Amino acid sequence: MRNLPIHLAAMVLGIAIFALPAAADDCLSCHRLKTPAAVRLWEKSAHAGAGVGCAACHGADHALIDKGAARVDMKVCGRCHSKALLEHKASRHGMGLHSGWGCTRGLSNRNPNECSFCHEEGSRAPQSQVECARFLKQSSEMGEAGCNRCHEVESSCASCHTSHGTDLKIVRDPNVCAKCHMGPDHPQWEMWQTSQHGTLYVSAGSSAGPVCQSCHMVNGSHNVSSGISVSSGGEPLPAELGASRREEMVQVCENCHAQAFARKELSRDDAIREQSRALVKEAEKIIGDLADHSLLDPMPDQRPPHPLRGPKLVLDSQMLYEDTSHIERLLFKMKKYDYARTIKGAYHQNPAYTHWYGNAELKMDLIDIRSEASRLRERKAVAGKAAGGLQESAEEKLRALKNKAERGALSPAEYEREKARLLEDPAGAGKP
Amino acid sequence: MLHRPRVAVRLMFPLFFAWITGCAHLPMTGALPDGARITEVARVDAAAPFALDPQGELIAYGSAGLTLKELGSGHDRPVAAPAPTALAWSPDGKQLAASFLLGEESVLKLCDRQGGVLKETRLAGRVKSLVWRSSTEILAFAVQQRNFSFGSRLTELLYRWDGTGKPAETILHETTLMPATLRRWGDMLLRPLTFSLSPLGDEILYPRLHAPPLFTPYLQLVLRNLDGGAELEVAEVSLHSAGGAFSGDGEWLLYGDGEGESRLFDPWGKQLLAAFPTPGRSVALSPSGRYLLLDGRLYRDGKEIASFPAASAGAFSATGGRLLIRYGERLYLVNGLPDEPPVPIGPAERDRLRQLRKWREEGLITDTEYRASRKRMSK
């Protein structure tokens, strides 16, 4: 006990010695030359003002940093910004958008470094189980530059805040959202920019015109899903959740508008959504019927298997735009581009997107799909005539019956009856 | 107590006799059917493959290489080195398929009856078994192991080759083997990975290896239709299981659970026809289905008639009547088993049956509908 002060002094000295290399000054001497922009941003940041140095986020193990294994992800930021982290994780931004795309190690010519996008060093378990068929079709390079740069928002605060700077001007500017929320599939930024909201913001400032953050990050909340009552694919959320989200959005609108006006606007937009969804469902039914009768060209079992479902027709959110038939590609455009533009255009108060870029395209897509379906049916009939009046084979008929039964287009009793008729038909319907 | 030394001497004598005679005779209890007899035919590598040609005249086996033995003259003809990993005679007996390991790949050779190489091709991974689907199409089951920092990725592959061009490859199953699993189980993981082909040539029965973290690895026996690719999971068995074999009509399967019981099982009706109190670490079924060889126990019509050492492995000839048994480093031939292969069915009936089986496998018709249609065919 007599030596306790000496021991304590030695410990303090030891900690100081080991901590010194991690101090910001030590990093800055080199990094002013090697990464000057990072240093400049950090020096102006709130972090620098609060004494949060390089090692606080990056750690002090330079070898690990060089290896790329000391990423500053949301867990590092969350150590201090826990409220923002919790809000973020509860939102669509934080719900497994990027990780667990589906393991790519079985695909050919992969970059081994891409494993670190889903797996922490030394861990076999992916960070979430969400899988994306479209990602699995990409090369390593495209997956990284074309998918992950947006979807890294799940675990990377820097995706919006940028690295090293903390200026809130960056994340309060709608341009920060435009990096991902633009383009053919969900052009929210363009919709907002050319809507009256966007025009007012540009001409009269944020007090007159709301920006993305005004409605989707109310009071600085990181829960960007607040107030959104449809899924990312445009399907209505379960009733109770949808209703509570609607109330959240009405409250947002009430910051500027009368409640009755807001409700009326949103109800009208819901109606547009349902009318447009019916067009998509009709197109899906046409394609389902074609697949029942093996009329798609190529059929799912004649093309590379779907990365998640194998040789099956996939028309849901895991639908592909490549290695598919022409008519499915038309549906992809209809659903992922035109339906999305219609409903997002309506909810973002942009008439041109709601009508011309959205709904009009949807209707024209349906004409194309009906026409392509007719062509496929006629082609089959012509091929049948050329082959001496060959009728649909028993296997094709059985498959069509099974597909119909699975889609609910035939009752179990009808299905049994039709099959029995086929198998017992002495005229040859049951023959291969 | 006084009798113990005498008993010990009595027990030791046959062992001593077997030792001084070099185990020339296959130890057996029980009795073979009248007219059947056993002869030693070759010295082989332990665990080496062997195959009897359909005419019953030639045996191909692994013994420091590939050797062909003429049963009539007793003449051995060394054909190639190194030792093959799998062997199979074509149904017409004109060609022998043999696979050899070459680094991480395999070489598949098609040879004539003299051992001359007619054609050869390269296959990824290690070929574990070969079966002829017809006289012009050979099937190979191979496993490929690729090592990563987190363990190994094991891929089970099916190759179909008609002797021209590149063999068609199908990935049957993939699994990840963690380092601890590999250390604990080693070669045991790969040993049971073989497959069998149905007599109609339309289905294979193969094992899928599963190695979940913290659990004992196991095999899932899967029935796969070769025309449509539809699959049916039949059973889960231990790594000790030798897999399964098809009955003569292709409707029943014989497999062992690898632990204590072997079963004759209808995979569609989920019906157990018979159970045998032996783990099925080696399994063979005669073409008629009358004889079974399970872990050295020879059954006829469901009853055990003779017993060879449990470590022996056997294969019945395609035409019935003969049984090759490998025990230790020796190969024995049991001749004269009263057995007849099933009466061959005509091509039209065969096609119709294959079609119905494919529909059943793809879920287009139920097993009941299949049976009703089959019954109508036989009327």
pLDDT tens sequence across A78-88: 999 999 999 99
Question: Which one is predicted more confidently, B11 or B89?
Answer: B89
pLDDT-based confidence at A65, cuts 50/70/90?
Answer: confident
- Please report the pLDDT score of residue B18 as a whole number: 43
CA A313/CA A302 separation, integer angstroms: 11
Q: CB–CB of B265/B218 below 8 Å?
A: no
**Which residue in the set A105, A402, A430 is minimally distant from B363, CB to CB?**
A402
Q: Give the residue with greater pLDDT, B176 vs B222.
A: B222
Q: Which of B144, B202, B359 to mutate to test binding with chain A, by most A CBs within 10 Å of its CB?
A: B359
- Judged by CB atoms closer than 8 Å, whether chains meet at B229 and A432 is answered as no
Q: What is the pLDDT of residue B22?
A: 40
Rounded to the nearest integer, the mean pLDDT of chain B is 89
Stronger pLDDT, B65 or A17, i.e. the higher one: B65
> CA B12, CA B174: separation in Å to the nearest integer?
49
How far A7 CA lies from chain B's nearest CA (Å)? 43
Query: Once rounded to an integer, what is the mean pLDDT over residues A350-356?
Result: 97
Instruction: Report whether B334 contacts B25 (CB < 8 A).
Output: no
pLDDT at B217: 93
CB contact under 8 A, A398 and B355: no
The answer, yes or no, to whether residue B174 has pLDDT greater than 60, is yes
The verdict on B352 touching A (C-beta cutoff 8 Å) is: yes
Mean pLDDT of B219-246: 94
Set of chain B residues whose Cβ sits within 8 Å of the Cβ of A299: none
pLDDT on residue A21: 38
What type of residue sits at position A203? S
Is the model's pLDDT at B245 over the cut of 90? Answer: yes
User: What's the confidence (pLDDT) of residue B258?
Assistant: 93
Which has the closest alpha carbon to A340: A280, A416, A287? A280
For residue B241, the model assigns a pLDDT of 94
- In Å, how far is A178's CA from the nearest CA of chain B? 38
Q: Which of A105, A311, A398 sits opposite B359 (nearest CB)?
A: A398
- Arithmetic mean of pLDDT over chain A: 86
Confidence at A414, pLDDT banded by 50, 70, 90? very high
Task: Give the per-residue pLDDT at B23.
Answer: 44
Cα–Cα dist A275/A149, whole Å: 34
Choose the mutation target among A423, A424, A431 for the interface with B, i.e. most B CBs under 10 Å. A423
Q: What is the mean pLDDT of residues A387-404?
A: 79
pLDDT at B181 over 80: yes
Greatest mean pLDDT among A8-22, A140-154, B131-145, B314-328: B131-145
In this predicted structure, what is the pLDDT of residue B344?
Answer: 82
Q: How confident is the model at residue A108 (pLDDT cuts 50, 70, 90)?
A: low
pLDDT at A368 over 60: yes
Q: Which residues of A touch B364 (CB under 8 A)?
A: 395, 398-399, 402
Q: Closest partner residue to A395 among B148, B174, B359, by Cβ?
A: B359
| A130-158 confidence digits (pLDDT tens) | 678 898 888 888 888 888 888 888 888 99
CA distances from B40 to A134, A395, B25, B74, B327 (A): 61, 52, 7, 11, 10
Q: What DSSP assignment string belongs to B325-371? A: EEETTEEEEEE-----PPPPPPHHHHHHHHHHHHHHHTTSS-HHHHH
pLDDT at B118 over 70: yes
pLDDT of A222 reads 95
To the nearest whole Å, the CA of B100 is away from the closest chain A CA by 26
Could you give phi then psi for residue A353, rounded to 5 degrees?
-70, -40
Is the pLDDT reported for residue A105 higher than 90? no
Residue B235 banded pLDDT, cuts 50, 70, 90? very high
- In A, which residues are within 8 Å of B352 by CB distance? 431-432
- Measured in angstroms, the CA of B356 and the nearest CA of chain A are apart by 9
pLDDT grade for A42, boundaries at 50, 70 and 90: very high
Q: Can you give the pLDDT at residue A68? A: 77
Q: Flag whether pLDDT at B9 surpasses 60.
A: no
Cis peptide before A298 (omega within 30 of 0): yes
For B370, nearest residue in chain A (alpha carbons): A423
Q: Min CA distance, A79 vs chain B (Å)?
A: 29
Q: How confident is the model at residue A67 (pLDDT cuts 50, 70, 90)?
A: confident
Does the pLDDT value for residue A98 go beyond 80? no
Report whether B207 contacts B192 (CB < 8 A). yes
B24-49 pLDDT, tens digit per residue, is 578 999 999 988 999 999 998 888 89
| Banded model confidence at residue A426, pLDDT cuts 50, 70, 90 | very low
For residue A106, the chain B residues in CB contact (below 8 A) are 153, 174
Are B369 and A419 within 8 A, CB to CB?
A: yes
CB contact under 8 A, B365 and A419: yes
Instruction: Please report the pLDDT score of residue A431 as a whole number.
Output: 46
CB pairs under 8 A between A and B: 32
Q: What is the pLDDT of residue A20?
A: 40
Residue to mutate among A67, A104, A105, A119, with most B CBs inside 10 A, is A105
* Torsion angles phi and psi, residue A399, rounded to 5: -65, -40
- Judged by a CB distance cut-off of 8 A, whether residue B150 touches chain A is yes
CA distance A93 to A249: 18
Answer whether B355 sits within 8 Å of A106, measured CB to CB: no
Q: Is B240 on the interface with A (CB under 8 A)?
A: no
Taking the C-alpha atoms of residue A188 and residue A171, their distance in angstroms, rounded to an integer, is 16
pTM recorded for the entire structure = 0.65
| Chain B contact set for A311 (CB, 8 A) | 229
- Closest A-chain CA to B356: A432
**Each residue's pLDDT tens digit, A153-199:** 888 899 999 999 999 999 999 999 999 999 999 999 999 999 999 99
DSSP three-state, residue B203:
strand
pLDDT score for B228: 86
Task: Indicate the pLDDT class of residue A303, thresholds 50, 70 and 90.
Answer: very high
The per-residue pLDDT for A390 is: 52
> What's the pLDDT at A355?
98
Instruction: Note the pLDDT of residue B63.
Output: 83
Mean pLDDT of A358-368: 98
pLDDT value at residue A429: 47
Is the predicted pLDDT of residue B19 greater than 90, yes or no? no
Residue A369 has pLDDT above 70, yes or no: yes
Residue-level pLDDT at A96: 57
Chain A residue numbers touching B359 (CB-CB < 8 A): 395, 398
B379 touches chain A (CB under 8 A): no
